[in-house]
Amino acid sequence: MAETTIAETTKAERNRRRDSFLSLLGVRPVIMGILNVTPDSFSDGDAFNRPSRRWLRRASWSTDGADVIDVGAESTRPGHTPVPLDEEWRRLEPLIGPLLAAIAAPVSIDTYKARNRTSRDCGGGPDRQRRVGLQKDSEMAGVVADGGAAVVIMHNRDACRSRDRHRGRHAKIFRAIDRSADRAGIPRQRMLIDPGIGFGKNKAQNLKALQATARLREAFGLPVLIGVSRKRLFGDLLGAGVEGRLIGTLAANLATLARGAAVFRVHDAAEHAAAFKVFHAIDAA
């Protein structure tokens, strides 16, 4: 297979993939398959940290159920070690080009660093920039706007504040991020919102945030992305290890689908595709 760099993937092709993703929003549940290239991911560990045919096979297999592949080079699990800019790029550089050549699905980059070369070259990733970026890096909104990428605005804070009135603070932070995206000129049709399950929230706050999916969608008028795959929340609720949390993930994603969530970031794409198919068969009946 000939090597392909990010720069060789034309802007027109990146926009085509971006628009194919955006066109699905509100039509059916969109499955985002997770591809971690970090040695300290709580779920994948070092499994896909080497540019080999093994992870390419996994990525290609994921497209059987996934509509978009989300690549992350820095773990955001509790207690993670921050990754310097150069190291994040070193992990991403050998993977993104071959991945774009290997699959037709859109590819997103999970980074909050505006100066990451993937962000600069591709407007926040080959097709989308997601998660924690606008809140942690003041330059990210401009990078996303200039590159024409879609963006997921995620609620995030460094520490849990158990006495917070969660809904009020949630909305306040989201409105501030939303304004920064609007000032940068990111069109609203390229914006999504993520309640940030597991980021600076306790168990009760995580459950309330999931329950409030419909209110979040209505308050901001944006599609909602849910990222709960194999989270510690399900370990607490079910007494399960990482590999035993699929059933909790499926239950939470079906509950939020019923409340209007649009995109689901998961490790288990095929299982979610099957669950959503059954959900819609019942709904359509």
pLDDT, tens only, 15-74: 899 999 999 999 999 999 998 887 744 455 444 445 455 667 666 666 678 999 998 888
**CATH label of the domain that carries residue 39:** 3.20.20.20
Quick check: is 268 in a domain?
yes
- The DSSP H or E segment spanning 110 is strand 107-110
Quick check: is 2 in a domain?
no
Domain count of the fold of the chain: 1
Ordered DSSP codes for 32-91? EEEEE--TT-TTTTTTT-S-SHHHHHHHHHHTTT-SEEEEESS--STTPPP--HHHHHHH
Distance CA(250)–CA(68), nearest Å, equals 18
* Mean pLDDT, rounded, of the chain: 80
pLDDT at 254 over 70: yes
Residue 270 phi, psi (nearest 5): -65, -40
Is 248 or 242 the better-scoring residue by pLDDT?
A: 248
pLDDT at 1 over 60: no
CA-to-CA separations, 167 to 132, 170, 179, in angstroms, rounded: 19, 5, 18
pLDDT, tens only, 192-233: 999 999 888 899 999 999 999 999 999 999 999 999 999 999
% of the chain surpassing 90 pLDDT: 35
Quick check: is 60 in a domain?
yes
Q: Helix H segments across 129-222?
A: 133-136, 140-147, 166-184, 203-211, 213-220
- Which domain does 278 fall in, by range? 28-284
Quick check: is 18 in a domain?
no
pLDDT, tens only, 78-88: 556 778 888 88
Pairing mode, if any, of strands 225-226 and 263-266? Answer: parallel
What angle do the packed helices 85-102 and 53-62 form, to 10 degrees?
Answer: 60
pLDDT at 133 over 60: no
